[in-house]
Amino acid sequence: MVAVDRTQTGLRVERNVLKVLKGLAEYLDISLGDLVEGIALHAFEGKVPFSPETLVKIEQLKAVYGLTLTAADAHRLVER
């Protein structure tokens, strides 16, 4: 284990992305913050953050919560 100092932050995220992230965190039995940290740390090193089994679960959660956005939509979203 590595000791760290965490900071509370407000973060605006698309509604269905957040639902999938929360569902995935619950499935993995980790906090939402731990999930986001893990995704970021993997991305910073160019590594895939999820196992094939977890990717299957993500697809299921996306279907449940109606998430149709893809990586192609990143950085191009406009608020309503």
Question: Which pLDDT value is given to residue 24?
Answer: 99
Question: Which pLDDT value is given to residue 59?
Answer: 98
- Rounded to the nearest 5 percent, the helix, strand and coil shares of the chain are 55, 0, 45
Question: Which pLDDT value is given to residue 79?
Answer: 93
Number of domains the chain contains: 1
What contacts 61, CB < 8 A, 6 or more positions away?
19, 20, 23, 24, 27, 67
Determine, yes or no, domain membership for 53.
yes
pTM over 0.85: yes
Q: Which domain holds residue 44?
A: 15-71
Determine, yes or no, domain membership for 78.
no
Determine, yes or no, domain membership for 77.
no
Question: Which pLDDT value is given to residue 11?
Answer: 92
Q: How far apart are CA 35 and CA 79, in angstroms?
A: 24
pLDDT digits (tens, 9 = 90+) for 27-80: 999 999 999 999 999 999 999 999 999 999 999 999 999 999 999 999 999 999
